[in-house]
């Protein structure tokens, strides 16, 4: 993965027979990821909050790729009841899952709470994906070359977990709490890798981030000045297309050289754009005590305890 020989989606091997779940698959990075996987023969389950948008995404992809194996399922990551219902449905209809791509997210909305009373960005971006991964781990263990890809952000380097004000009751900053959720993604991906490795599990936990990619994440949720900075100014000047931004998570999900515990991001200046390469996790996100504390807190808040089988 050098700048002279950048990895592209054309290098994805044939994925026929493999089953993927992509959260937030109806737009942006999720749609670009789904389209690339379908092109290589994968069976992709689009886990989406808005099923009508999911069906439109399927129609768009199948118009380009007749015979693409796609299915739409409802999933609201901010509602843990929805996460459990999605996992139950998958268990009823599938005997295994090869790759889970924890891609969906919300960015910098006004402060609001999830169905279970958790700050929305932490609930959707972290807690929902934490619970989903735990509930699907048995299906992943039965998969072929199984992987969990958790999508973080370069912004994780600006954050920490506000354990003393996790829900923003005393002080809330839209971008600050977005950064916290992306830091939580990074901590979770690494801690999951450590626990899977210790248990002798075949499942890989790989982290990825898209750099600065033009999606509706920057234009739909952020308020006020943040919407101007990211959507009106930043996207046209600095952002790369979703097909390019999706490359790190596609590499993490499919390439034989993507190792458990790695963090894959763009190789360009400040990791804002470019081809996928291995990048460094913030030292704070690799802190063992933080990983254990966040894991225990997440189990308590979601009611999901991970059972990690060693083999299929």
Catalytic positions, written as ranges? 178
DSSP symbol at 240? B
Pairwise CA distance, residues 135 & 47, whole Å: 15
- What percentage of the chain's residues is helix, strand, coil (to nearest 5)? 45, 15, 40
Measured between alpha carbons, how far is residue 151 from residues 66, 74, 159, 183 in Å? 29, 20, 16, 10
Instruction: Classify strands 99-102 and 69-74 as parallel, antiparallel or unpaired.
Output: unpaired
Going from the C-alpha of 208 to that of each of 72, 167, 174, the distances in angstroms are: 24, 25, 22
| Whole-number Å distance between alpha carbons of 137 and 126 | 16
The angle formed by the CA atoms of residues 16, 249 and 221, to the nearest 5 degrees, is 120
Write the burial class of residue 286 (CB in 10 Å: 0-12 exposed, 13-18 middle, 19+ buried): middle
């Amino acid at each position: 993965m050098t700048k002279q020989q950048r990895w592209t989606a054309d290098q994805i091997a044939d994925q026929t027979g493999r089953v993927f779940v992509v959260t937030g698959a109806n737009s942006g990075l999720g749609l670009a990821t789904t389209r690339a996987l379908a092109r290589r023969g994968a069976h992709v389950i689009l886990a989406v909050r808005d099923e009508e948008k999911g069906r439109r995404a399927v129609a768009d992809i199948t118009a380009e790729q007749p015979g693409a194996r796609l299915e739409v399922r409802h999933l609201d990551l901010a509602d843990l009841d929805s996460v459990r219902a999605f996992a139950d449905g998958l268990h009823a209809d599938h005997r295994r899952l090869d790759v889970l791509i924890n891609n969906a997210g919300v960015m910098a909305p006004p402060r609001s709470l999830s169905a279970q009373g958790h700050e929305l960005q932490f609930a959707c971006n972290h807690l929902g994906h934490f619970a989903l991964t735990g509930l699907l781990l048995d299906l992943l263990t039965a998969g072929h070359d199984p992987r969990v890809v958790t999508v973080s952000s370069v912004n994780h380097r600006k954050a920490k977990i506000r354990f003393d004000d996790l829900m923003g009751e005393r002080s809330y900053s839209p971008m600050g709490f977005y950064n916290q959720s992306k830091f939580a993604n990074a901590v979770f991906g690494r801690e999951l890798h450590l626990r899977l490795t210790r248990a002798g599990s075949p499942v890989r936990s790989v982290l990825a981030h898209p750099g600065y990619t033009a999606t509706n994440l920057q234009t739909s949720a952020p308020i006020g000045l943040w919407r101007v900075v990211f959507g009106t100014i930043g996207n046209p000047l600095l952002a790369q297309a979703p097909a390019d931004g999706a490359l790190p998570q596609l590499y993490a999900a499919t390439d034989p050289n993507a190792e458990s515990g790695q963090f894959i991001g763009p190789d360009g200046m400040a990791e804002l754009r470019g081809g996928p390469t291995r990048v460094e996790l913030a030292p704070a996100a690799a802190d063992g005590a933080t990983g254990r504390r966040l894991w225990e807190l997440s189990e308590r808040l979601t009611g999901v305890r991970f059972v990690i089988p060693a083999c299929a």
